[in-house]
Amino acid sequence: MTAVLQILFDALSVGSIYALGALGIALIFGVMRLVNFAHGDYIAFCVFAMLWPSLDVVAIVFIGNLPWFLLIPVILGIGAGLSIISEILVFRRLRDANPATMMITSFALGFVIHNVLLMFYSSRPKAINLWSNLSLPVEIMGARIPLLQVITIVMTIVILLALVTFLRRTQFGVEMRAAAEDFTMARMLGVKANRVIMAAFGVSGALASCIALILATQTGVADINMGLPVMLVAFVATVIGGLGSLHGAVIAGFLIGGVSVLLQVFLPLEARPFRDAFVYSAVIASLLWRPQGLFAPKSSKERV
Amino acid sequence: MLLSVENITVRYGRLTALRNFSLTMEQGETLFVTGPNGAGKSTLLKSIAGVVAPVTGTIHFHEQDVGGQPPEGIARLGLSMVPEGRHVFGSLTIEENLILGAGMRRDKARMAENLASVYDLFPVLSERKDSHAGVLSGGQQQMLVIGRALMTEPQLIAIDEPSLGLAPKIIDQVYDTLTRLRDERGLSLLIVEQSTTRAVMAGGRMVMLRSGELVLEGDARELSKGDALNAAYFGFEEH
């Protein structure tokens, strides 16, 4: 029983990170048909934003020393800000470009952010001590679960519920969902393109900073490449979930998290190093079964 | 003058979809734009709605130059577009589809008023207001998009092939509604149809396009009396 509980919490907390990442990518894809590969670098940027720029081996924690009730909004603001700035400076000019051009541009933007971090912080991973007492375990029904896992899962649920409420209950949220489904038609009803796209980038960037906070606490390390694996899995999740479907992205994120944790536990020892090969085999199987994704929006067929 | 299109030319790459086309509409008028497939009818509506940009020519709405305005700007001026294929938001509920049209005006009271009047016009929408719009039949979707256009409080509704894919009985209902809106609310209507039948039935002014050019203009009923209509539609040479 405790083992099952342990696995469940592992799966949910890994899945939470993927779900938040997939949601951040799906939000922007919905309104712009852009797969933003710079998303992973937003995550790294938010982690390093907590440190003072220096090439030293030892991290000089700066913003990261703020009490949590200040640190969280500041980091969320940095993520949202970075994302909105990249929309205004880069993606706005490419709005009518074809999706391949936009995707390549997002790669380029990712490299720029990556190299800026490299310049100011060097490529060496640095240890940071963010909320280290959160790694202490708590006992839930006999299982010893790290407090951080519980917080990650609870926070993800809160974030998802808040987003769902926003998207369903507010006029602006309805406008965003409409824009994600059929952007031109939404504009012909008076929905302002710039506002909706900027909001999507803002929320997406804030989601990247949530991941940054979780990863930094979990690993205790600031690494320039730390966003990349999350970004890749999150992208895969948006494809499996059905590009353009927000709830599909979230569910697929949790699915991938669950599958990789289960494989980690149940694969024979000698096969475990190749866990990701099994995960991606499952991904291929899922795409062969439903190439349009598990939760493809009905309208996506009409659009070309 | 409500709408004035002057000498617009629209190109998609090397293909000219509309050549030197002009058109005017008065307040309260119903104008039919007809013509065969690929004549440039939808392109005309898209240019008026700001979705495609003409390479030359001007478009004025209420004497105001709307060239270069984005679609949302034109919608805010009181021109509501119902594009071909209806474009309901299938993942939104019927009510959400409707309130979307009211978003540009942050006026809750007026929105509720307009919503009530749309439900009054189409009771079937009110019965199913919380179901997803994707489950509606073609005719109901057509009602929904007309209702959604009304929510923007337009002066002109431009509607692209309202009869497309609908049963004749349903088409009659759609046209009854449009005629009522014209007569009771003084709404101006710009209706695109492939066939001239509806234009002749409804009466009023009609223009006909073929291969991106204006080939015929006049009173639909007058035009239907001779052979001119068919000749222009199919492009027969006169003997």
Rounded to whole angstroms, the Cα distance separating B2 from B63 reads 7
Q: What is the pLDDT of residue B236?
A: 66
Question: Is B107 among the domain residues?
Answer: no
Mutate to test the interface with A, among B42, B69, B72 (most CBs of A within 10 A): B72
What is the average pLDDT score of chain B? Answer: 89
For B119-158, the pLDDT digits (tens) are 999 999 999 999 999 889 999 999 999 999 999 999 999 9
With beta carbons under 8 A apart, name residues in chain B contacting A299. 89-91, 134
Question: Is B130 among the domain residues?
Answer: no
pLDDT of residue A132 exceeding 80, the answer is no
- Taking an 8 Å cut-off on Cβ atoms, the answer to whether A184 and B71 are in contact is yes
Rg (chain B; Cα; Å): 18
With beta carbons under 8 A apart, name residues in chain A contacting B70. 187, 193
Give B21→chain A minimum CA distance, Å. Answer: 23
pLDDT of residue A303 exceeding 60, the answer is no
pLDDT of residue B238 exceeding 60, the answer is no
Q: What is the pLDDT of residue A304?
A: 32
Mean pLDDT of A166-181: 89
Residue B174 lies in domain: 3-84+154-234
With beta carbons under 8 A apart, name residues in chain B contacting A182. 87, 89
- Taking an 8 Å cut-off on Cβ atoms, the answer to whether A178 and B152 are in contact is no
Nearest alpha carbon to residue B45 among B37, B58, B33:
B33
Q: What is the pLDDT of residue B126?
A: 93
For B68-102, the pLDDT digits (tens) are 889 999 999 999 999 988 899 988 999 999 999 88
- Taking an 8 Å cut-off on Cβ atoms, the answer to whether A190 and B75 are in contact is yes
Cβ A208 vs Cβ A200: under 8 Å: no
Pull the structure tokens for residue A87: 């929309």
pTM score, two decimals?
0.82
Q: What is the pLDDT of residue A295?
A: 84
Rounded to whole angstroms, the Cα distance separating A45 from B116 reads 50
Contact A182/B at CB under 8 A: yes
Q: What is the pLDDT of residue B46?
A: 93
| Nearest chain A residue to B51, by CA | A184
Give B228→chain A minimum CA distance, Å. Answer: 36
Total Cβ atoms within 10 A of residue A272: 13
pLDDT of residue B106 exceeding 80, the answer is no
CATH number, domain with residue B66:
3.40.50.300
For A76-107, the pLDDT digits (tens) are 999 999 999 999 999 998 887 888 999 999 99
- Taking an 8 Å cut-off on Cβ atoms, the answer to whether B49 and A188 are in contact is yes
Give B38→chain A minimum CA distance, Å. Answer: 19
Helices B108-121 and B138-151 pack at an angle, to 10 degrees, of 150
Rounded to whole angstroms, the Cα distance separating B228 from B212 reads 19
In chain A the domains, ranked by start, together with CATH numbers, are 2-301 (1.10.3470)
With beta carbons under 8 A apart, name residues in chain B contacting A171. 99, 103, 106
For B162-182, the pLDDT digits (tens) are 988 889 899 999 999 998 898
Contact A193/B at CB under 8 A: yes
Strand partners of residue B160:
B192
Question: Is B128 among the domain residues?
Answer: no
Q: Which of B83, B99, B134 sits opposite A174 (nearest CB)?
A: B99
With beta carbons under 8 A apart, name residues in chain B contacting A190. 72, 75-76, 101, 103-104, 152
With beta carbons under 8 A apart, name residues in chain A contacting B87. 182, 185
Question: Is B15 among the domain residues?
Answer: yes
Q: What is the pLDDT of residue A174?
A: 92
pLDDT of residue A224 exceeding 80, the answer is yes
Nearest alpha carbon to residue A38 among A95, A106, A100, A94:
A106
Question: Is B41 among the domain residues?
Answer: yes
- Could you tell me how many residues make up chain B? 239
Rounded to whole angstroms, the Cα distance separating B160 from B149 reads 13
Rounded to whole angstroms, the Cα distance separating B124 from B170 reads 13
Q: What is the pLDDT of residue A300?
A: 43
pLDDT of residue A142 exceeding 90, the answer is no
Residue bearing the bigger pLDDT, A304 or A117: A117
Q: What is the pLDDT of residue A256?
A: 93
Pull the structure tokens for residue B239: 């003997």
- Taking an 8 Å cut-off on Cβ atoms, the answer to whether B87 and A187 are in contact is no
- Taking an 8 Å cut-off on Cβ atoms, the answer to whether B100 and A175 are in contact is yes
pLDDT of residue A114 exceeding 70, the answer is yes
Give B229→chain A minimum CA distance, Å. Answer: 33
pLDDT of residue A40 exceeding 60, the answer is yes
Give A68→chain B minimum CA distance, Å. Answer: 37
Q: What is the pLDDT of residue A298?
A: 58
Mean pLDDT of B186-206: 88
Rounded to whole angstroms, the Cα distance separating B236 from B239 reads 9
Q: What is the pLDDT of residue B187?
A: 92
For A247-298, the pLDDT digits (tens) are 899 999 999 999 999 998 888 888 888 888 888 888 899 889 988 888 876 5
Q: Which of A182, A191, A297 sits opposite B72 (nearest CB)?
A: A191
Rounded to whole angstroms, the Cα distance separating B148 from B122 reads 11
Rounded to whole angstroms, the Cα distance separating A225 from A44 reads 7
Give A127→chain B minimum CA distance, Å. Answer: 46
pLDDT of residue A301 exceeding 70, the answer is no
- Taking an 8 Å cut-off on Cβ atoms, the answer to whether B51 and A184 are in contact is yes
Question: Is B214 among the domain residues?
Answer: yes
Q: What is the pLDDT of residue A297?
A: 64
- Taking an 8 Å cut-off on Cβ atoms, the answer to whether B91 and A297 are in contact is yes
With beta carbons under 8 A apart, name residues in chain A contacting B89. 177-178, 181-182, 185-186, 299
Q: What is the pLDDT of residue A302?
A: 40
Q: What is the pLDDT of residue A116?
A: 93
- Taking an 8 Å cut-off on Cβ atoms, the answer to whether A297 and B101 are in contact is no
Number of domains in chain B: 1
3-class DSSP state of A132? helix
With beta carbons under 8 A apart, name residues in chain B contacting A189. 75, 80, 100-101, 103-104, 148, 152
Rounded to whole angstroms, the Cα distance separating A36 from A113 reads 13
Question: Is B103 among the domain residues?
Answer: no
Question: Is B108 among the domain residues?
Answer: no
Mutate to test the interface with B, among A98, A167, A185 (most CBs of B within 10 A): A185
Give A182→chain B minimum CA distance, Å. Answer: 7
Contact A95/B at CB under 8 A: no
- Taking an 8 Å cut-off on Cβ atoms, the answer to whether A189 and B96 are in contact is no
- Taking an 8 Å cut-off on Cβ atoms, the answer to whether A298 and B90 are in contact is yes
